[in-house]
Amino acid sequence: MFNQILDDIRANDHRALSRVITRIENNQGLPDDFFISLYTYSTDAIRIGITGPPGAGKSTLTDKLIKLFLEHGKSVGVVAVDPSSPFTGGALLGDRVRMNRYIWDENVFIRSMGSHGDLGGLARKTQDVGDVLAASGKDIVIYETVGVGQGELDVAAAVDLTVVILVPESGDEIQLMKAGLIEIADLFIINKSDRDGAGRLAQLLQNILHTSHGTDRPEPPVINTIASEGKGLDELYDGIEKHLVNMKSNGMFDTNRLKKHRMRVLGLVQEKLLDEFWTSEKLETLSYETHSIDSIKLSPYEISAAILKNE
Ligand SMILES: Nc1nc2c(ncn2[C@@H]2O[C@H](COP(=O)(O)OP(=O)(O)OP(=O)(O)O)[C@@H](O)[C@H]2O)c(=O)[nH]1
Ligand SMILES: [Mg+2]
């Protein structure tokens, strides 16, 4: 049965892709063996994360990027990861329009994915869905995600390259640093550069990068775009290509993949241990020990020690 699913994925059957992604999203019983076989076919695709604040133009930009990749003979899978959305396929209107445009194109597959409130599982699901798209033969897998917290970090852990989009309103230096974006960005985009302040923000950002960026990887370029008019997109495309060529030639591409591979194993082990640990019996003990307001008198350390000891 799972062999059939795998065959359908490898045959690039988009309806099968959609079904299996829904199962991943809902944690619906796909065995480890399925993922083990899937993985064999999923290491070739380049994975790109596109992140930025709500409304920054991520979808518009992704849409134009899809077109450029297609023109260069590459097939593309897109997952819009929305950590806040509990709905399966809960695409926004703009994303739906995008989807319809490519609905008959076997070289483009677009899907959105929510977290079902289970933020812990989002990193794993994101990576598993990437494996599915890669195994279907997509050359490029793009993750689009709103950068407001954990979501973009989960995505950064799953990709070869992260594009961070800012807009002229994105604010001051401190905010940029606080957001931790500098650590995850391989390329910065100042979108909506038709607005005031785009040049100033690009300059400010370049200064920050110059002084605070570590020497362990190349300084991210800052590219101004007007996604809605398609301006700056060729520069972005070239920037992505150049970054990948650089990273491959200096070995960082592999180092980076290996590091993320290790993290993925670590995450899986942690998740499996937790799943195994929390038997219904232990969950019952937890609710028993915390059933009334009086239980807050007991230290959480004491309760947890008791639960752990009862293994
Ligand atoms: N002025 C201007 N508007 C733009 C530009 N790029 C995109 N927009 C508009 O900004 C709005 C939001 O664009 P989206 O592409 O949906 O932004 P997003 O980041 O995907 O939004 P969410 O997924 O909701 O977080 C749309 O109305 C776009 O047409 C730009 O370069 N300049
Ligand atoms: Mg969007």
Is the model more confident about 4 or about 84? 4
pTM above 0.85, yes or no: yes
Q: Which residues pair with 111 in a beta bridge?
A: 79
Sheet holding 76-82, edge to edge: 108-114, 76-82, 140-146, 46-52, 161-166, 187-190, 222-224
Give the containing element (helix H, strand E) for 108. Answer: strand 108-114
Q: Which residues of 99-120 are buried (b: 16+ CB within 10 A; e: fewer)?
A: beebeeeebbbbbbbbbbeeee
Give the containing element (helix H, strand E) for 52. Answer: strand 46-52
C-alpha to C-alpha distance for 184 and 156, rounded to whole angstroms:
6
CA of 305 to the centre of ligand 2 (A): 45
Q: What is the mean pLDDT of residues 130-142?
A: 98
Looking at residue 210, its pLDDT comes to 84
- Report pLDDT digits (tens) over 169-205: 876 655 666 557 778 899 999 999 999 999 998 998 8
Q: How far is CA 80 from CA 103, 108, 154, 216, in A?
A: 16, 14, 13, 30
| pLDDT value at 119 more than 70 | no
Pick the CATH number of 2-251 from 3.40.50.740, 3.40.50.2300, 3.40.50.300, 3.40.50.2000: 3.40.50.300
Residues 160/42, Cβ–Cβ less than 8 Å:
no
Report the sign of the C-alpha dihedral through residues 295, 301, 302, 304, in that order: positive
CA of 58 to the centre of ligand 2 (A): 5
The two tokens of residue 5 are: 């699913």
For residue 61, which atom of ligand 1 is closest to its CA? 15
Q: What is the mean pLDDT of residues 119-141?
A: 90
CA of 251 to the centre of ligand 2 (A): 33
C-alpha to C-alpha distance for 70 and 216, rounded to whole angstroms:
33
| pLDDT value at 96 more than 80 | no
Domain locations in the chain as residue ranges: 2-251, 278-309
Residue 88: pLDDT band (50, 70, 90) is very low
| pLDDT value at 209 more than 60 | yes
For residue 80, which atom of ligand 1 is closest to its CA? 23
For ligand 1, mutation pick of 50, 51, 60, 231 (most atoms within 8 Å of CB)? 60
Q: 231: which DSSP letter?
A: B
Residue 90: pLDDT band (50, 70, 90) is very low
The two tokens of residue 251 are: 């070995």
CA of 79 to the centre of ligand 1 (A): 17
Ligand nearest to the CA of 55: 1
- Among 106-115, 145-154, 211-220, 254-263, top mean pLDDT goes to 254-263
Ligand nearest to the CA of 61: 1
Q: Which residues contact 94 (CB under 8 A, 6 or more apart)?
A: 59, 60
What residue owns the CA closest to ligand 1's atom 7?
57
Looking at residue 89, its pLDDT comes to 41
For residue 195, which atom of ligand 1 is closest to its CA? 1
Residues with CB under 6 A from ligand 1: 52, 54-60, 92, 94, 146, 191-192, 194, 226-228
Strands 161-166, 222-224: parallel, antiparallel or unpaired by DSSP?
A: unpaired
CA of 95 to the centre of ligand 2 (A): 6
What residue owns the CA closest to ligand 1's atom 9?
57
Give the containing element (helix H, strand E) for 146. Answer: strand 140-146
Looking at residue 99, its pLDDT comes to 60
- Report pLDDT digits (tens) over 18-70: 999 999 988 887 999 999 999 999 999 999 999 988 889 999 999 999 999 99
